[in-house]
Chains A and B, each alone.
Chain A
Amino acid sequence: MPVPTGGGRRKPSAAVLGLVPFFAYTSVFLVLPTVSVVVGAFTDSAGRFTLGNLSAALQEPYLTALLTSLKLSLVTAVLGVLLGALLANAVVTSPRAVLLRHVVSSASGVFAHLGGVPLAFMFIASIGSIGLVTRALQAIGLDLYATGFSLFSFAGIVVVYVYFQVPLMVLVITPALEGLRPQWAEAAHNLGATRPQYWRYVAGPVLLPALLGSLLLLFANSFAAYATAAALTNGGVPLLPIEIGSLLSGNVIAGQENLGKALGLEMIVIVAALMGGYTLLQRRASRWLS
């Protein structure tokens, strides 16, 4: 009988021991805090089971915060998907520009991951009331702030969020665009298809799951974000993460100590549903684009 390669025939129970550090670490620092949020959401201040926290979480002012957060996420996810796909496509189809790809992918990584606070300040410098872009627009007779726009309002947050949504879109959609084989376009062309027909009947359907999946991912990304809005508006625009933050900072009404956890559970449920959908769509997308 041949000796099994890879030494993989030890008792599985012994091999699992090698993963004990990882499981222990994630249990203590990820799972335990998450469970305490979920349990807390169903517990009143005396430690008894209750649904009161959850029903309070779905009433004003938190209902408005939830709806504003959902609206913000939808708008920035749609914008992020459209602009990000265009940018990624421009980079992927540019011939032999290896350096350009390195520049765009590393810049996307920085913008998407470092994001938050530095981005907020860069936008104060760009389209804040005395920012460069604001002044440039004034110089050509366009007064941004006369239109009622403010960086510290809903519209302002949309602009800043789009700046971390687009790079994330570039990062997640580039592999899918690279998976589009040139032979498909050539085959379609040889069969007499026009360029729009190729996108409508060949590339579009193949890319659709990846695009929809990215939409869900971007939605979740913006829904969960706290730092940018907190640094930018100081809580001026009601968003769900901001409300949780201000409950943590001590604005708690007696008897509602666990309200923040109910809001937290609400966020977990929504983000988990989005990420579940994203995973399913990614799996569907990889059928053609691997």
Chain B
Amino acid sequence: MGAYFLVPVAAALEFALRGPNGTHSLAAFRDIAAQPELVPMLTVSLRIALGTLLITVALMVPTVVWVHLRLPRLRPLVEALSLLPLVVPVVVLVVGVLTAFADAPNLIKGTPAILALEYVALAMPFSYRALDAGVSAVRLPTLVEAARSLGANWPTVLLRVVVPNIRTAIVGSALLTTALVLGEFTMASLMLFDTFPTWMVRVGQQQAGVAVGLSVLVLLTSWALLLALSIAAGRPRGATSLFRRSS
């Protein structure tokens, strides 16, 4: 079963390392590093990822916490809205975005800012789920009451009590969001923006080896990060277990 994942990765590595006349060398990775557009394109995508992350955390953490504390009745509605991107395919959402924001100021629709704003929405099914699971796993009302009765104001409660308790969930949703931004091709290419994935496809049309090498690097990096998080989150918890439901 392991072969299932490993064969394409191994084949891609072999392909990327393939030199002329059946030789193999690390030249492809030198070629990758030598791409003049690599750093600019990676920078664009990382900046989009950072923007997406900041908005996601600032918007979703308070929302999920608030729903759990005060408005559990509205939880199905919030969940349904966050799952909407699973119902509206990205390619269709692009059509809508181009129509709905046709008259928006150029600052929004003409810069990759619109991508970050939409990626927040595209990531919601994962970010909401991850945060919701994280918040469900701690005794939030108890923690918040304790902090409030000790005189903490709401920002303090959120930043110094809630966030540290759900940091694994926050890191998890951050990683999935970053992976989404670094791999998202549909919206970026159809809205004619140049990002890391669209650049990769363009390079792949002339230098397949470079694009294949990049694909392997991106996949292995994301996988290593997710694996590290998965192991870190799965280790037995000592002191914090007091606040976790046993179920």
Contacts and interface: CB of A to CB of B under 8 A. Distances in A.
A105 B176 CA distance: 13
14 contacts: A7-B145, A15-B70, A22-B81, A26-B121, A30-B124, A31-B84, A111-B5, A116-B186, A122-B8, A126-B15, A131-B11, A132-B11, A264-B89, A268-B88
A226 to B, nearest CB: 4
Interface in A235-290: 241, 244-245, 248-249, 260-261, 264, 267-268, 271-272, 275
Contacts of A36: 96, 99-100
A83 B5 CA distance: 13
Contacts of A102: 227, 230-231, 234
A241 B185 CA distance: 13
Contacts of A40: 95, 99
Given A16-B74, A19-B67, A249-B190, 18 more contacts: A5-B145, A15-B70, A22-B60, A34-B92, A90-B1, A91-B1, A111-B219, A114-B218, A118-B216, A118-B219, A121-B208, A124-B15, A125-B11, A223-B89, A226-B89, A226-B185, A261-B95, A264-B96
B85 to A, nearest CB: 7
Contacts of A105: 230
A8 interface: yes
B53 interface: no
B200 interface: yes
Nearest to B15: A125
B141 A226 contact: no
Interface in A112-129: 113-119, 121-126, 128
B197 A18 contact: no
A47 interface: no
A139 interface: no
A98 B236 CA distance: 12
Contacts of A118: 183, 200, 214-216, 218-219
A109 interface: yes
B226 A126 contact: no
> Which of A34, A98, A111 is most buried by chain B, counting CB atoms within 10 A of its CB?
A34
B63 interface: yes
B183 A25 contact: no
Interface residues of B, number: 84
A31 to B, nearest CB: 7
Interface in A127-185: 128, 131-133, 163, 166
A132 B83 CA distance: 39
A231 interface: yes
A113 B89 contact: no
Interface residues of A, number: 78
A204 B4 CA distance: 25
Interface string B197-211: 100110010001001
> Which of A6, A99, A260 is most buried by chain B, counting CB atoms within 10 A of its CB?
A6
Given A30-B81, A33-B97, A122 B219 contact: yes
Contacts of A121: 12, 200, 204, 208, 211-212, 214-215
A227 interface: yes
A32 interface: yes
Contact of A29 (B10, B14, B117, B227): B117
A210 B101 CA distance: 39
Contact of B92 (A87, A119, A268): A268
B137 interface: no
B227 A260 contact: no
Contacts of B87: 268, 271-272, 275
B227 A106 contact: yes
Interface in A87-103: 87, 90-91, 98-99, 102-103
B16 interface: yes
B243 interface: no
Contacts of A113: 126, 176, 179-180, 183
Interface in B111-163: 117-118, 120-121, 124, 126, 141, 144-145, 148
A226 B186 contact: yes
B222 A110 contact: yes
